[in-house]
Amino acid sequence: MTEQAAPSAGSGSRGEREAGARGEPGAGDGAGDEPIAPERKVRHGAAAAGKPATIYDVAHAAGVSHQTVSRFLKGFAGIRPETRAKVERALAELDYRPNLTARSLTTGRSHRIGALTHDIDKYGPSKILGSAAAAARDAGYVLDIVTLDTTDAASIDEALAMIAEHDVEGVLALSSTDEMTHAFERIDFRVPAFVVTEPDEPSRVRSQLATEGMPALVAHLARLGHRRILFLAGPHHWSAARNRTRAIEAAAEALGLEVTGIIEGDWSAASGYAAIADLEDLDATAIVSANDQMALGAMLALSERGLAVPRDVSVTGIDDLPDAAFYTPPLTTLRMDLAGRGRAAFAELLSRIEGSAAHEPPAVQAELIVRQSTGPAPRRTPLDSQ
């Protein structure tokens, strides 16, 4: 099809205007040229007019029909790669967000997901939830988040009643503790649901923490000459804490290192501080913490005991918090892909909502990040040097 110039700006022949109003599709979705969207006054960048972009704005920016944009947003596969790239670029440039209210009226679906979570002040749960919410937004869904009080059993029933009022299409239940996992497993959600929890290892899918991350961290300490390690563990009723304890024990045994002790904390910097401040005998040259926050507290307690990191004691964490690179000294740690876990959780729930094939849960990625909190093992243990 050959495009003809309009007689004047913002106008065209009657036939052209009527064809545009009828939205006659071209062959651009699979073959042939793509008809340009009807000419209209367009905001370039949406924010210029202070209003959100529409699919007509996207169509004009991409040089395609608004029907093509609609097909793209619905996941239609028969769109040419070059056309798809144009639409994706226009969506990003205009910061397009779907009008969920209009979509709900058209489809009769709410496009809302209920999210149940707890301990949102902890880094792991908040990171997983944040990435799940971003994935939902990208797919045109809204996450209605309800936080639970883990000390109040009735709060779960109240949360379910609250979510039911919003006509959700599915429920994403994020659990970190045994108590919450058992509670979620007993619930009849009445809509598609997915409980996000870390299974005890060994399991069908082992995390890279056990297979690659922790072995790499312990090997790093071994290369520096460390042979005795103190482990600061997370609370035992968290499956993630148990898995991290198993991982350090297995990795140390494989390399002939000794875990001299395991002290349980509650993930907070205060508990890491207390673990070292109250310790009578520090019979180790390296401390491995189950998370970065406890490592931060441990380093302060070491400093108050007159021990320097890493000259006298090496310290490592797990998670790679955004602040870990700015500790004193910067913290050696394992970077865990918690964001990827949140995206995978939403993808699994979405497959259940749409009745598509289930996704194989991916192994959680773990990467060793070496910074200045680890160094050569001292010739004597900190206890001997005091």
pLDDT tens digit sequence for 223-267 = 999 999 999 999 999 999 999 999 999 999 999 999 999 999 999
Per-residue pLDDT at 263: 98
| Residue 36: pLDDT band with limits 50, 70, 90 | very low
Unique residue bearing structure tokens 């639970």 = 148
Domains and CATH numbers, the chain: 14-97 (1.10.260.40), 108-196 (3.40.50.2300), 208-331+371-385 (3.40.50.2300)
Per-residue pLDDT at 206: 59
Reading the block at residue 335, the tokens are: 């970077």
pLDDT tens digit sequence for 345-368 = 998 999 899 887 666 666 678 999
Looking at 144-158, 243-257, 327-341, which range is the least confident one? Answer: 144-158
Is the pLDDT score of 39 beyond 70? no
| Residue 1: pLDDT band with limits 50, 70, 90 | very low
Is the pLDDT score of 14 beyond 50? no
pTM of the model: 0.70
Per-residue pLDDT at 322: 94
Contacts of 179 (CB under 8 A, 6+ apart): 150, 237
Q: Which of 28, 3, 2 is nearest to 83 (CA)?
A: 28
Cα–Cα distance measured from residue 184 to residue 97, given in angstroms and rounded to the nearest whole number: 32
Per-residue pLDDT at 91: 86
Spatial strand order of the sheet with 142-147 comes to 142-147, 112-117, 170-174, 193-196
Is the pLDDT score of 62 beyond 60? yes
Per-residue pLDDT at 212: 92
- How many percent of the chain have pLDDT more than 70? 76
Contacts of 158 (CB under 8 A, 6+ apart): none
Mean pLDDT of 158-169: 75
pLDDT tens digit sequence for 288-308 = 999 999 999 999 999 999 999
Helix (H) or strand (E) segment spanning residue 174: strand 170-174
Query: What's the residue count for the chain?
Result: 386
Q: Choose between 38 and 206: higher pLDDT.
A: 206
Per-residue pLDDT at 77: 54
Strand 286-289 with 314-319, pairing: parallel
Mean pLDDT of 314-326: 97
